[in-house]
Amino acid sequence: MQSPARHFTALERRATFGLASVYGLRMLGLFIILPVFALYAESLPGGRNPTLVGLALGVYGLTQALLQIPFGWLSDRIGRKPVIYLGLVLFAAGSFVAAAAPNVQWVIAGRALQGAGAISAAVMALAADLTREERRTQAMAVIGVSIGAAFALSLIVSAPLSRLIGVPGIFALTGVLALAAMGVVAWLVPTPGQSRFHSDAEARLGLVAAVAREPQLVRLNFGVFALHAVLMALWVAVPFALRRAGLAADHHWQVYLPVLLGSVLLMVPAIVYAERRAKLKQVFICAIVALVVAEATLALAGDSVLGVAAALLAFFAGFNILEASLPSLISKVAPVAAKGTAIGIYSSVQFLGTFAGGAAGGFLYGHYGAYALYGFCAMLLLAWLGVAAGMRQPPAVRTHMYPVPAMDQQKARGLAEQLARLPGVREALVLAAEGVAYIKADADGFDEQRALRLIGEMA
C-alpha cells in the first residue's frame, strides 16, 4: 500500500475552504458585536441593566450548547446540507431580529435565535464526508483557523463598522452574510455521494456519559468552560474601562489591534517550545497564570489606557495559547473510538462557559462593580489552575487515520491487534462499518510504512 497523498485533491480543497468560509462568517457574526455592544446598549430601553447586557452577549452560547449535538445527530438522518441550511436560516433570522430590536430584551431573543443555528457538528461531519481519512486532520485544522481569524477580525473591524453603520447595521450585515453563506454551501461546497457516521468527527450519543466522566477530559472541559466564561465576562467591563480612560468607542480598535498582534508574537514561540520540548503542561500552566495576572492588572489599571492595554496583552497571549492547546490535548487524551464524542462535549461545554460568563459578568458588574467581576474571573481561573496542576504530562502522540478495504468484524479485530503490536503504537482501532483504521502512536518511533503494509495485506 502506498503512503497516503500529502496534498488535498481539488474536491477536498473546495470542500475545506468553502466550509471554513461558512463557519468563519457565522462565527464572525457572533463575535463582531462583543467589543461594541455594551456601549451601544446604553441607548436601548433596558440597556443600562448590565445583567441584561451580559445575557445579550452570552445567551447564544446556551442555545448553541443545547442544540449542537442534536443538530449533528439530525444531519446523520436527513443530510448535512439541509441541516446547515436550517442553521444558517435561524442565524440570519436571529440577526435580523437583533437588528430591529426596540429594546435589549429583543436583542437577547435575537442572539438566542442566532445560537440556535448550531451547525458546528454538521459542518464537521460534512467535511469528514468530503475528505479522505489521511487529510481530515488538516481539513479540520483549516476550519479551526477560520474561527480564530473571525475572532481577531471582529475585534479590529467592530468599532469602525459601528461608527459607519451602527450596531443594528452590523446585526443586519451578519444576517445578509449568513444568507450568502447558504449560496457557498449550495454552489461551492460539493455534495457527498454518501454520508456516514465518522467516529473522529461526530458525537456518538451512547458514549457521551462515559466520555464526560473521564478524569483527564473533565479537567480539559472545566478549562474551556472557565476560559470562555472569563472571555465573555470581560466584554461587559472592558469597553467601559477604555471609555473611562478617555478613549472614544470608535478608537478602541487602536488598542485591540496592537494587542492582538503582540499576543500572536508571544503565542507562536510558546507553542513551538511546548511541542518541541514536550513541555506542553508547563506552558499550559504559565498561560493560565498569565490570565490571572491580566485580571489583577485590569483591577489595578484604573483610568489608564496603557494599563488596560497591558492587561489585555497578557490576557490574549494566554488565551491564544490555551485556545490552541486545548483541542490538541483533547485529541491526545481521548480514546480513538470516542474522539468525535469528546470534541462534541468539549465544544458544548465551551458554549456553556460563554453563556455563564456573560450572565455572571453582567450580574456582578451591575450589582457590585468591575472589581467584583475581575475578582470572580480571577477566582475561576485560580480554580482552573488547581485543576490543571493535577493534569498528567500529555503524551507526545498523534492520531493517524487510514482507509481500509471491506472486511468483516473478525478481520477488523485481527488487524487492530496487529497494528497495536507495532512499535510506538499506543492504541489501534479498525472500524469495518466506517472503513477506517485509527492509530494513536508516538510522534517519534512510529513506522507508518509497516502499518500501511499490514493494511494493504488485507486487500
Residue 423 within a domain: yes
Per-residue pLDDT of the chain (459 residues; tens, 9 = 90+): 444 556 778 888 898 899 999 988 888 888 899 999 999 999 999 989 999 999 999 999 999 999 988 888 898 888 899 999 999 999 999 999 999 999 999 999 999 999 998 888 888 888 888 887 777 778 888 888 888 888 888 888 898 899 999 999 999 999 999 999 999 999 999 888 777 777 777 788 788 888 888 988 999 999 999 999 999 999 999 999 999 988 888 889 899 999 999 998 999 899 888 877 778 889 999 999 999 999 999 999 877 899 999 999 999 999 999 998 888 888 888 888 888 888 889 999 999 999 999 999 999 999 999 999 999 999 999 999 999 988 888 777 888 888 888 888 888 899 989 999 989 889 888 888 888 888 888 878 888 888 888 888 876
What confidence score (pLDDT) does residue 393 get?
80
Instruction: For residue 400, list its beta bridge partners.
Output: 439
Same domain? For 163 and 297 the reply is no
What confidence score (pLDDT) does residue 5 get?
54
Nearest of 349, 87, 55, 318 to residue 208 by alpha carbon: 349
Count the alpha carbons within 13 Å of 344 in the hemisphere toward its beta carbon: 33
Integer Cα distance of 449 and 4 in angstroms: 10
Residue 448 within a domain: yes
Task: Print the domain residue range for 411.
Answer: 401-456
Residue 129 within a domain: yes
Residue 3 within a domain: no
Q: Which three cell numbers stand for residue 178?
A: 449568513
Q: Phi/psi of residue 80, each to 5°?
A: -70, -50
Q: Which three cell numbers stand for residue 72?
A: 449533528
Residue 109 within a domain: yes
CB 93 within 8 A of CB 383: no
Same domain? For 180 and 311 the reply is no
Strands 436-442 and 425-431 turn out to be antiparallel
What confidence score (pLDDT) does residue 355 get?
96
Indicate the residue among 164, 199, 234 that finishes a domain.
199
CB 358 within 8 A of CB 232: yes
What confidence score (pLDDT) does residue 73 get?
86
Same domain? For 252 and 339 the reply is yes
Same domain? For 318 and 376 the reply is yes
Integer Cα distance of 266 and 274 in angstroms: 13
Beta-strand ranges (E) seen in 366-412 are 397-403
**Torsion over CA of 217, 436, 81 and 210, rounded to 10 degrees?**
-30
CA distances to 235, 272, 312, 315 from 288, in Å: 19, 17, 14, 9
Indicate the residue among 356, 373, 394 that finishes a domain.
394
What confidence score (pLDDT) does residue 47 get?
87
Same domain? For 111 and 260 the reply is no
* Count of domains forming the chain: 3
The CATH number of the domain holding residue 164 is: 1.20.1250.20
Same domain? For 50 and 186 the reply is yes
Indicate the residue among 199, 219, 253 that finishes a domain.
199
Residue 1 within a domain: no
Same domain? For 268 and 368 the reply is yes
Residue 245 within a domain: yes
Same domain? For 342 and 370 the reply is yes
Same domain? For 374 and 441 the reply is no
Residue 4 within a domain: no
Same domain? For 430 and 352 the reply is no
Neighbouring residues of 202: CB distance < 8 A, sequence distance ≥ 6? 72, 76, 121, 124, 125, 128, 340, 341, 344
DSSP string, 63-100: HHHHHHHHHHHHHHHH-HHHHHHHHHHHHHHHHHHHHT
Same domain? For 240 and 313 the reply is yes
CB 365 within 8 A of CB 52: no
Q: How far is CA 11 from the centre of its chain?
A: 25
Same domain? For 165 and 277 the reply is no
What confidence score (pLDDT) does residue 60 get?
94
The CATH number of the domain holding residue 437 is: 3.30.70
